[in-house]
Structures are given as structure tokens and as C-alpha cells.
Amino acid sequence: MHGIRRTIHSERSEFQDIDVVESEDYGRMLLLDGKVQSTVRDEHIYHESLVHPAMVAHASPKEVLILGGGEGGTLREVLRHPSVERAVMVDIDRRVVQVSKEYMPELSGGAFEDPRAELVFGDGRRYVEECVGEFDVAIVDLTDPLEGGPGAMLYTKEFYALLSRILKNDGIMVTQATSTYYSDYCFATILKTVGSAFQTAGGYHVWVPSYDSTWGFVYGTKGPDPNGLIGRFEEATARKGLKCLRYLDEKTYQALFALPKELVEKIRRWELVATDAKPTFMPV
Ligand code: SAM
């Protein structure tokens, strides 16, 4: 899939294989269990698209929870919002954070040192189960739901119900939702599953060159709908003092929500909801 010039770092952590390589087209690249997570050249496309629809739609996100997101790009984008007072990031694997900081520091861009950032190492599901506080926005940036992988049980109906419980009355959650091309059924299942736990759910996607695919995101909201920002994105970002976006503007924001007709039809017909007893997995 990618030309690799050299391997910069390679290890097996307690949870997964971690590799940093120098790629031909994308510069340094982080892989977990052999799957591309982020590259220095195009990570902003993924991270801006994951974070800002929910964060800009919310009136004033102050307390934000991130599950996963080890390389720090999600935290970096969350902290761009001047309204944020506290961002808690829970990743199961401290080695992903350490390796990313050492070999790809531009991914976090100093976010881990921001006094508003709180880093917790542990299982995101357990954190949500035991959480007593409430958040404005929750961003789920986990590895794909691979069978036996550490993120598989954070894509189920029971998990989204737990997440809904720790969101305030106008809270919004968003999750990465795999490829809308190669695993469209997985995207459709995540959308139906979030829809079973939230009053309003929606999906969108963006082309990520290094994933060689359009990549999906699914949100569930108790308050404003990110879809409602279409045509108002730039006005909303200016009002909120959100600066330095590289990918998203009025047109690219609108384009996020343009799902192909055949996918929309597939989603309409799709009935499957992932549960703890019957989770859905993406093929390796
Ligand atoms: N951008 C990525 C992609 O390709 O979809 C995902 C970002 S990030 C590197 C994924 C992170 O999720 C990893 O750092 C991994 O350690 C973390 N993770 C996986 N399972 C987890 C769990 N159960 N709780 C918390 N973090 C988890």
C-alpha cells in the first residue's frame, strides 16, 4: 500500500504492535497492529474532521472527554477551542503517547503540556463506567473494532448508552467509524448503534489519502446537530475564536455530509445494532 523508506521505531507494547516508519509519500507514519493511524502529511484532515463538527456545533464546550487518540492530534484540535477549560484524554496504551511524542512531536504540537489537558492511562470503557462527572463533548478516537483488539467493546449499544449517561443535557459524542467504502457495513452498524442510544445520530466522511479511502465518523447528540452547521460553519468558527484550521472551511464542511447515494440506501436498509453479546468487527 505504501512505499516505506525505513523503520524508525518498532515495538510490541502490552496491547499492540507499534511502528513508526518513514514513508515515501506521507513522511513519518504511525502504525498500530500494522494499520496506518496518522501520518505527518495528512493527519490534519482526519483530526479536524473528527473533532470540529461536534465541538463547533456545541454552544460552548468546556469539559471534553477523549477516548483513545494516543498520538495527540485530537487533543491538539480540541484545545484550539478557547471555550475548553478541561480536556481529559484516556488511552489504554501509554507507549503510543510516548512513542508519538518522541518520533512525531508535530502530531500533538505541545498539547500534552497544555495545563487544560489531563492524561489518564487506562481502558476507556472502564473510565466511562466509573465516571461520576459530566462532559459537554465526548470524542471517541479508538483503533478500529478489530476482533481481539483493545477497542472492540467501545462500539456497542451498551457502551454508547454509558457514554450518553456521562454527557450533559446538550452533550454531543462523535466516534471515528471506519472506512465508508471498504467497510461500509461497519459504518452503517456504528450509525445504527449510536442511533439506538441517542435521540439524534448522523454520519459523515472525508477522504484521507493515507487511508486510501473515505473515512467515516458518527455522532450522537442530545443537543445541537452538527448537520445544522452547513452554510454557517465559517460564521460559527469566527464567533468562537477558532483559528488555524487547514482543511475545513465552508465548502469542505458541507462536503463532509455528502454521502454517496448507494451508501445512504444501504444505511436505510441496515438493521444491525452491535451489542456486548454480539459486537461487530471490521475485517483485518
Ligand atoms: N486515527 C486512528 C485511526 O486510524 O482510526 C485512531 C487514533 S489513535 C492512535 C487510537 C488509540 O486508541 C490508540 O492510541 C490506542 O492505544 C487507543 N485505544 C484502543 N483501545 C482503547 C481502549 N479500550 N481504551 C482507551 N484507548 C484505547
Residues sharing a CB contact under 8 Å with residue 225, sequence separation 6 or more, in sequence order: 57, 200, 202
Does ligand 1 have an atom closer than 6 angstroms to the CB of 72? no
Atom of ligand 1 nearest to the CA of 70: 14
Q: What pLDDT is recorded for position 148?
A: 79
Residue 74 to residues 128, 157, 227: CA-CA distances in angstroms?
18, 24, 20
Most distant CA pair in the chain, distance: 49
Q: What is the mean pLDDT of residues 86-94?
A: 98
- 34 occurs within a structural domain: no
- 280 occurs within a structural domain: no
**Confidence band for 221, pLDDT divided at 50, 70 and 90:** very high
Residue 126 cell numbers, joined? 472502564
Which tens digits make up the pLDDT trace of 149-186? Answer: 888 899 999 999 999 999 999 999 999 999 999 999 99
> Range of 228's domain?
49-269
Atom of ligand 1 nearest to the CA of 36: 4
CA nearest ligand 1 atom 15, residue: 68
Q: How far apart, in Å, do the first and last CA atoms of the chain sit?
A: 14
123 is catalytic: no
Residue 185 cell numbers, joined? 457495513
Helix axes 157-165, 184-197, angle to 10 degrees: 40
Q: What is the mean pLDDT of residues 110-124?
A: 98
27-32 and 35-39 as β-strands: parallel, antiparallel, unpaired? antiparallel
Catalytic residue among 19, 93, 141, 144: 141
Q: What pLDDT is recorded for position 274?
A: 93
Number of domains comprising the chain = 1
> Mean of the per-residue pLDDT values for the chain?
96
CATH of the domain at 139: 3.40.50.150
How many degrees, rounded to 5, is the angle at CA 259 between CA 153 and CA 137?
45
Does ligand 1 have an atom closer than 6 angstroms to the CB of 256? no
Residue entry with cell 490534519: 44
Q: List residues bridging with 204 in a β-sheet.
A: 217
Q: What pLDDT is recorded for position 83?
A: 98
**240 Cα–ligand 1 center, Å:** 28
Which tens digits make up the pLDDT trace of 129-146? Answer: 999 889 999 999 999 988
Element (H, E) at 134: none
Q: What is the mean pLDDT of residues 43-69?
A: 98
CA distance linking residue 31 with residue 22, whole number of Å: 11
- 23 occurs within a structural domain: no
**235 Cα–ligand 1 center, Å:** 32
CA nearest ligand 1 atom 17, residue: 68
Q: What is the mean pLDDT of residues 27-52?
A: 97
Residue 36 and residue 19 in contact, taking contact as beta carbons nearer than 8 Å: no
Start-end of H helices in the chain: 43-57, 73-79, 94-103, 124-130, 157-165, 184-197, 233-240, 250-256, 261-269
CA distance linking residue 174 with residue 178, whole number of Å: 13
**261 Cα–ligand 1 center, Å:** 30
Q: What pLDDT is recorded for position 284?
A: 60
CA nearest ligand 1 atom 14, residue: 70
Residue 11 cell numbers, joined? 515495538
Atom of ligand 1 nearest to the CA of 93: 16
Q: What is the mean pLDDT of residues 72-86?
A: 98
Residue 40 cell numbers, joined? 505527518
Does ligand 1 have an atom closer than 6 angstroms to the CB of 154? yes
- 217 occurs within a structural domain: yes
Q: List residues bridging with 135 in a β-sheet.
A: 167
